Amino acid sequence: MLKTFITIAFLLTSVLCKNIILTNDDGFTATNIRSTFKALTDAGHNVLLVAPVSQRSGWSGKFDVPATKELLTDGEFGYVQKGQPSWGHEADNMNIWYFNGTPASSVSFALNYVIPQFFNSTDGKDNKTVIDKVDLVVSGPNEGTNLSPGYFTISGTIGAATSSVYRGIPAIAFSGSNSNNSFFKDSLNNDPLEPSNIYAKKVVEFVGDLFDKQGDNSVLPLGTGINVNFPKVGYESDNDGCTNPKWIFSRLTGEEASAPDVYYDEETDSIKSVTVPLKGLINCFNGDCSLPSESYIIANTTCQTSVSVFSIDYDANTELTNSVKTLLQPILS
């Protein structure tokens, strides 16, 4: 009986305890990522947080690595200071790392340096954890939404997720409607109405559901990722009413999908950046065209979270490809 119980306990642990790389573009000291790290760890997962030492919002998939072994400027909130190493970990937690790079390169740094050097065995390094494979990369939750394909060329949160999918590792980009840009030392708490805690709880719920259905396969099909956008919740929602937003399946493009554009203000004789719906983003070429866009969900509903699947195969579908091929036929060999 005891042997059976131990076997069952081991199987449950192997199913439920997954290896997760957690990153973001707001920096490794942001409240959102620290709250999510705690929630995923408390849920039993082995979480390796590796994120930029400084704010890297808007850097998309840009791939930067440190130019020097020491920081030339202070990190975000001055938590890591000029002159300290360009990468390192919390003194009291080997599972929390900073890197003087971008979100996309932070993922690669985790895979190609941190894990092989510090989590590949227990010999001589006094580690209690061995990471033999990475089950999932979680990027975020970002401080602010990342909606529609226009933000694939902007968002560092999505950049980290796509960088992971390129490498054959499933990834989810989470973004929240809160924009507190707060330091975890000042803001991390257990308040159930704090947006960062609500987002963290929902991240655990989402990845847990995927892991429950994983079986012997990858948690997501090869070459695909998920883009998730949370609404305003807790103290930032109307009357603190949204604490458990519903998951709504959506698509990246469609009605109200938007991207950055340039606007000339004649009154001030200045050039401004605006975000507007664009014709090319409203058309549906791939996927389920009946789904609402994630932009529509966040703009027109309350307490609902958009869940959109993306693919890193940027090739046009067969119909579009053949249409253009026909146009080019006279010059093609």
Residues serving a catalytic function are 175
DSSP of 211-252: HHTTTTS-SS-TTEEEEEE----GGGSGGG--SSPEEEEEBS
Peptide linkage before 141 cis (omega within 30 of 0): yes
Do 98 and 114 contact (CB within 8 A), yes or no?
no
The DSSP H or E segment spanning 33 is helix 31-42
122 CB-side CA count, 13 A: 4
Do 39 and 202 contact (CB within 8 A), yes or no?
no
Do 35 and 42 contact (CB within 8 A), yes or no?
no
Do 83 and 70 contact (CB within 8 A), yes or no?
yes
